[in-house]
Structure 1
């Protein structure tokens, strides 16, 4: 499977609830099935981002530690 194009959204330096609020707003402009990669330094994002995906019907494809924070790969739901 070829690499899909993903949008990288740098939210490093923002504190809760801004990473989730900005991610939610950004997701509204994307087509269903689009990939959005979030980079954040907010320690609460490991709880907030998976919860947001569950609540809004998106798929959390990957969650991994990143330099000074975490990286999340989200596929937009229908």
Structure 2
């Protein structure tokens, strides 16, 4: 499994965190993990939906201060 990369998207509002997460996951290699940090109140709904639309899966969602840390993976 590849470690992947991360994106700190704090301060961006809907729909930008979801769109950037979807784009990153779409460009990821098979097995790669992408970590997205977002403080957008709608990210808890939008980022997982965007991950599924990109063919990915959510590995974990964890609190990160006032934000949430989403770990996604591109299955293979």
Q: Smaller-chain TM-score range?
A: 0.7 to 0.9
> In structure 2, what is the Cα distance between the partners aligned to 1:7 and 1:57?
17
Asked if 1:13 corresponds to 2:11, the answer is: yes
5+ residue gaps in structure 1? none
Q: Matched residue of 2:62: which SS?
A: strand
- Aligned-residue Cα RMSD (Å) equals 1.7
What is the match of residue 65 of structure 2? 67
What TM-score, normalized by structure 1, do the two folds share? 0.84
Deviation at 1:4, TM superposition (A): 5.2
Q: Which structure 1 residue ranges, 4+ long, deviate > 3 Å from structure 2?
A: none
Q: 1:66 to 1:49 in 2, by over 3 A?
A: same
Query: When the two structures are aligned, how many residues end up with a matched partner?
Result: 76
1:48 aligns with 2:52: no
Distance 1:5 1:77 in 2: 13
Please list every run of 5 or more consecutive structure 2 residues that lacks an aligned counterpart in the other structure: none
